[in-house]
Amino acid sequence: MPKASLPPGLVVKLGKTVWQTLWQIMMARLAPTDAAGAYVRPNSEFRQGLDAIEGAKPGRYRLIVGMGCPWAHRTLVVRAIKGLESALPLWIVEPSPDEGMWRFVDDRVGWRSLPDLYRTAQPGYAGRSTVPVLWDTHTRTILNNESADIIVLLNAAFNDCAARPDVDLYPEALRSRIDDWGDRIYHAINNGVYRCGFARTQVAYTEACTLLFDTLNAIDAHLADHRYLCGDRITLADVRLFTTLARFDAVYHGLFKCDRAHLRDYAHLWPYARDLYQQPGVAATCDFVTIQRDYYGNLFPLNPGGIIPLGPDPALWQRPHDRRAMSAVPGSEEN
């Protein structure tokens, strides 16, 4: 006699119910949401400022980063542009897909995982252990774990040990404009792609995706007659935008459903992104292989099969951007 089997329709319904239930449980742990199903990013908890850094002597501090993380990537870009590679060594972590935490690549640093380091800084700590981290080796504590703060600190407090101290990414005369751009970019783009990918309702996703592309379109129009966001010089506003753009086609377009357009479809935004990528030292901060591996390989609820796409050809980023002529004084920029 043939073996009894469940009707196909019942199998599909059962599988869908089980998966959706498990997905909601995993997403609740991965990405907290509000009542409407919109992703709400938790606040960073270590927020010391400029007054906490005493002279920023070379070798005292460490920058802890994950190469796939866009928030950590901001700090790497500023470190490269300012020429802080020798003065501010890196400790690199990578995500463990099975343990759900960042683990140190080099166990000689003294900790196995990032949560271990956080508990050294604050015994009993039970919050989120995130990158980037600005670590003080003398006091063995976390000075700051908020990327928006750290890039300001690297621009100013580390000037005495920077190879390019004359480069100011946060000039006082432009700070209001830089901050305005930063707020807009964070809500709609930096965090906006996550609000698309981590949305738990159709309404929340549609709202986030619409705002994301409305803002990208507006920035593309702005860049038609501005080389950079604040004019003829690179600022922290550009850094904050760049690290999301660097991941857009490779990750966010597919995995996070940000699929109304590719970055390479934009007439001005795409050359602008290549302009930033081709600045001295910046390309070395862009590890596209790790970026795709970390997102597709570790965000299990969004990619349960674990298959990592080949992604766009990184060589596209080396194409000429032809934006130097937009500067008020051609040749006055760093690149």
Q: Among this protein's residues, is 69 annotated catalytic? A: yes
**How far apart are the C-alpha atoms of 20 and 76, rounded to whole Å?**
38
Query: What's the whole-model pTM score?
Result: 0.90
pLDDT at site 54: 60
* Residues in a beta bridge with 141: 136
Number of neighbours of residue 178 by Cβ within 10 angstroms: 22
pLDDT at site 46: 78
* Residues in a beta bridge with 39: 33
**How far apart are the C-alpha atoms of 242 and 189, rounded to whole Å?**
10
Packing angle, helices 236-247 and 288-298, rounded to 10: 60
User: What residues contact residue 8 under an 8 Å CB cut-off, 6+ apart?
Assistant: none
Q: In what order do the strands lie in the sheet with 101-104?
A: 101-104, 90-96, 61-66, 133-136, 141-144
Classify 62 as helix, strand or coil.
Answer: strand
Which is it for the CA torsion 198, 115, 293, 86, positive or negative? Answer: positive
Helix H or strand E encompassing 258: none
pLDDT at site 21: 56
**How far apart are the C-alpha atoms of 121 and 303, rounded to whole Å?**
34
Note whether 246 and 73 are within 8 A (CB).
yes
**How far apart are the C-alpha atoms of 159 and 166, rounded to whole Å?**
8
Note whether 135 and 104 are within 8 A (CB).
no
Catalytic residue, candidates 69, 161, 209, 286? 69
Q: Which parts of the chain sit beneath pLDDT 50? A: 329-335
Which is it for the CA torsion 128, 132, 137, 138, positive or negative? Answer: negative
In 3D, which of 165, 71, 295, 55 has the Cα closest to residue 63?
71
Q: Distance from CA of residue 133 to its chain's centroid? A: 13
Catalytic residue, candidates 61, 170, 194, 266? 194
